[in-house]
Structure 1
């Protein structure tokens, strides 16, 4: 992208081979995940907190093959299959590219059980779910209310919590209730009367609430929680003021490795709605901005 703007600013172009700094590896990208932050960043939405350099290559989720090493990067070797959440300190060299240089701390070995597209759709959403659950120690014995449990982050949080032997009550539209049951959650419809619906399943309230929506769901969570300290939101800053936590996901190779282990054990999968070639990135952004997809949207570099 030559400057901040909307979907119309996206364009395929040739740039020099990335320089690979110490502690980095060069990754040949097989697939890149699409997230709302990609097009929000491109529109200038993070300009108050993040420096951008142009031309900017968007994309923070990748899966690919190590093609070369910088100095002091023994963690991976050429030919290793990796995936990562590659948010750097400034916005410039993202994952919508054939090759990208990535700090090794942002990568882990790709799950064998997942396709390239699934692996590319996991990092940001998976780490968001994992870090939200870890912030309040959600696990065995807890009754956890997950808002937007059928969404990209919520469906991963649900699987992580079920793998930890937590009881999950998940909000979703009725059309997604069978989907949540298949994940091991007890579904409830969001909207008016949500607190009453949850109390029908958990009369004494819930131990933990993970909010991936914001707004009214935060208020309902406070009403249902036994203690507000176990409220986590990734969508509403008010959670912290109400005694809970607001989480902004961090790159974390160890967290990615934990997610990969769950996937290879058959306890976590990624639902991919559609795979598009890189040249159709603008269409992927349009679909993502509409918010109607259940699974992840992924760009294939092999078809670009």
Structure 2
């Protein structure tokens, strides 16, 4: 249901936390004033917005939101794709009508977003041209997970001589990390549930179930040992990798900090990383599974599905 606010100008829809932070039930589809592109910015008419675990993690309560510098009223979501419909003073890289994608920090699930051009994945947002042949729903699923995966792969630097253990391989970041490591020539063993085995094989990974006994199962799959590891969920995979003799210099985490292990952060991805990922997807060399799409007025159901952490692929909101 859409709620309205008083305004003397045109309005558009935005999913927001208005009265409080919290779970999906706290989100409201709200009418807000159409934002204006300032100097060095572009306004994008959003057609699709992809969801990520961080979207609900950082807005789960007031304390979490404050740690990320968020206050009420607050938007929701980070990844978007759409079409430039206004260009601010001084912007020369983009024109009205350009198809684009990128990140808009905690405000992407809206009819319009204003972002810096070209910008950075952080709070000012960023914008990139959508390659020919890449549909908006897929482009809307790239920014956070793609940049984080690229950063993680850069830390461990896998190659043809490596056997890489990926914890949480079936998650949003894992989908990208597994395929990027495979494109680099590495053999990948990916942890997941028994139900995710076929999905992991489709990405090019050798599946292994997580949980007690993981080290023994990995030894059976890699009798010559593993040489690198990334934990995309917590720290269990790091502990197993250390047990199997992987040096700290060849490991990374994204969700937890471990002494001696260099963490990976999508904000620190190499320049051009997300454009390269988009190019690989457009060329069919990297797959982005879309698990489900929802119209924006079903945002509660979409967030509940994504927050359950059992979905195999991305959840995307349609705003066109």
Conservation of the 8 A alpha-carbon contact between 2:40 and 2:89: yes
Aligned to 1:40: 57
Conservation of the 8 A alpha-carbon contact between 2:158 and 2:185: no
Conservation of the 8 A alpha-carbon contact between 1:222 and 1:231: no
C-alpha displacement of 1:271 = 0.8
Q: 1:164 aligns with which of 173, 179, 184?
A: 184
Q: 1:14 aligns with which of 31, 36, 40?
A: 31
Aligned to 1:115: 135
Aligned to 1:96: 109
Aligned to 2:213: 193
Q: 2:164 aligns with which of 144, 162, 166?
A: 144
Q: 1:202 aligns with which of 222, 225, 234?
A: 222
C-alpha displacement of 1:205 = 2.4
Conservation of the 8 A alpha-carbon contact between 1:159 and 1:183: yes
Q: Which moved more, 1:155-164 or 1:42-51?
A: 42-51
Conservation of the 8 A alpha-carbon contact between 2:101 and 2:129: yes
Distance 1:31 1:140, change over 3 A: same
> For residues 1-304 of structure 1, what are the structure 2 equivalents within 5 Å?
1-2=17-18, 3-43=20-60, 44=62, 46-87=64-105, 94-103=107-116, 104-105=118-119, 106-238=126-258, 241=259, 243-250=260-267, 254-302=272-320
Conservation of the 8 A alpha-carbon contact between 2:294 and 2:302: yes
Aligned residues: 294
Q: Structure 1: how far apart are the matches of 2:199 and 2:68?
A: 37
Conservation of the 8 A alpha-carbon contact between 1:82 and 1:109: yes
Gaps of 5+ in 2: 1-16, 120-125
Q: Structure 2: how far apart are the matches of 1:175 and 1:22?
A: 49
Q: Secondary structure at the match of 1:13?
A: strand
C-alpha displacement of 1:251 = 7.4
Q: Structure 2: how far apart are the matches of 1:85 and 1:60?
A: 5
TM-score using structure 1 length? 0.90
C-alpha displacement of 1:220 = 0.7
Q: Secondary structure at the match of 1:192?
A: coil
TM-score using structure 2 length? 0.86
C-alpha displacement of 1:225 = 4.2
Q: Which moved more, 1:287-296 or 1:221-230?
A: 221-230
Deviations 1:83-118 (A, max 9, x none): 11223xxx5xx1111111011222222243432212
C-alpha displacement of 1:200 = 1.9
Q: Structure 1: how far apart are the matches of 2:208 and 2:301?
A: 32
C-alpha displacement of 1:130 = 0.8
Q: Secondary structure at the match of 1:246?
A: coil
Q: Structure 1: how far apart are the matches of 2:314 and 2:268?
A: 19
Q: Which moved more, 1:45-54 or 1:31-40?
A: 45-54
